[in-house]
Amino acid sequence: MTTHVLSDTRVLTARSLTHIVRSPDTIITTAVTPIALMLLFVYVFGGAIQTGGTESYIDYMLPGILLITIASGVAYTAYRLFLDLQGGIFQRFQSMPIARSSVLWGHVLTSLVANLVSVAIVVGVAFIMGFRTGASVGAWLAVIGILVLFTLALTWIAVIAGLSAKTVDGASAFSYPLIFLPFISSAFVPTDSMPGPVAWFAENQPVTSIVDTTRALFAGQPVGTDIWVALAWLVGIMAVAFVLAMRIYRRKAA
């Protein structure tokens, strides 16, 4: 292969980031829905929700809100990839002597940057609304690491969607179930308040372990075994999505 993977990836990431800088509405839109949810849950439903803990409700729900932010943000990655495929620029890249995987990595790294910016905005608003954390620097780094892994895992799913979509709407439709998953998890209400089968699903789906880990890190409490379950899910999903995305990409490129 070529030795230019890194420089080609850097150039293509810069290109894709330029797109975001020129239409920052994609970042704003990504942040608006979770902020609205936060307002709704804290000021409307929050008073009626019993979490069984001593923390304020915003502290309880912020981890789930951050996952929703990322789940809706990656839809733009699928969208941008789809537009590249439609517009012919993808073909141009494919016919040039550049490292093949750079075209995808450019979109993936852009997705990471864009989603972390959206997450930062949401966390900022949460602070204004009263979110407080006793997290140490190490705990913050762990939270960031988990969110980065979550973004990468979902981004590779977005790459699959962007590469295989037939229409613009199809490219982003995959994100709806992902946005919905936190609602059937421990993100907003404790899972033991749910009826049997739903509680079983909620306790065993990836979002719950990720939310519980993040919540514990923010609260400065021990994470227990949750973090290993969360990491196993994240790395597993990322690996499967990556392999599938690369397979589809190679077929597309051949």
Partner 1 sequence: MTTATQPAASRPGAPAAPAIRVQGVEKSFKDLQVLKAVDFDVAKGSIFALLGSNGAGKTTLVNILSTLMKSDAGTATVEGFDVADSPGDVRRSISLTGQFAAVDEVLTGRENLVLVARLRHQKDPGRIADDLLARFSLTDAGDRRAATYSGGMRRRLDIAMSLIGDPPVVFLDEPTTGLDPQARIEVWQTVKALADGGTTVLLTTQYLDEAEQLADRIAILHEGVIIRNGTLAELKRLLPAAKVEYVEKQPSLEEVFLALVGEPAQAGEPAASVPTAPAAPSTKESR
Binding-residue pattern over the window 228 to 247 for partner 1, x denoting contact by CB under 8 A: --------------------
How far is the C-alpha of 65 from the C-alpha of 223, rounded, in Å? 19
Among 158, 159, 74, 59, which residue's Cα sits nearest to residue 118? Answer: 74
> Measured from the CB of residue 69, what is the shortest distance to partner 1 in angstroms?
24
94 binds partner 1 (CB under 8 A): yes
Among 95, 128, 166, 177, binds partner 1 (CB under 8 A): 95
The number of helices, as runs of H, and strands, as runs of E, in the chain is 11, 0
Binding to partner 1 by residue 54, rule CB under 8 A?
no
Q: Residue 3 or residue 225: which is nearer to partner 1 going by CB?
A: 3
Helix (H) or strand (E) holding 101: helix 100-128
C-beta closer to partner 1: residue 80 or 215: 80
Q: Tell whether residue 4 is a contact of partner 1 (CB under 8 A).
A: yes
- The least distance separating partner 1 from the CB of residue 169, rounded to whole angstroms, comes to 20
Question: Rounded CA gap, 212 and 203, in Å?
Answer: 10
| Beta carbon nearer to partner 1, 5 or 184 | 5
Counting contacts by CB under 8 A, is residue 12 touching partner 1? Answer: yes
Q: Which residue's structure tokens are 């494919």?
A: 94
User: Can you tell me which residue has the tokens 């690996």?
Assistant: 239
Q: What sections of 129-205 are H helices per DSSP?
A: 137-164, 168-173, 175-180, 196-204
Among 47, 88, 177, 222, the residue binding partner 1 under the rule CB under 8 A is 88
Contacts with partner 1: how many residues (CB under 8 A)?
25
22 binds partner 1 (CB under 8 A): yes
Please choose, from the candidates 28, 37, 162, the residue with its C-alpha nearest in 3D space to the C-alpha of residue 87: 162
Nearer to partner 1, 53 or 87 (CB): 87
| Kind and range of the H or E run holding 22 | helix 5-22
Among positions 47, 52, 54, 97, the unique one binding partner 1 when judged by CB under 8 A: 97
Under a CB-based contact definition with an 8 Å cutoff, are residues 51 and 60 in contact? yes
Q: How far apart are CA 184 and CA 239, in angstroms?
A: 24
Q: Does 125 bind partner 1 (CB under 8 A)?
A: no
Interface positions with partner 1 (CB under 8 A): 1-2, 4, 7-8, 11-12, 15, 18-19, 22-23, 87-89, 91-98, 253-254
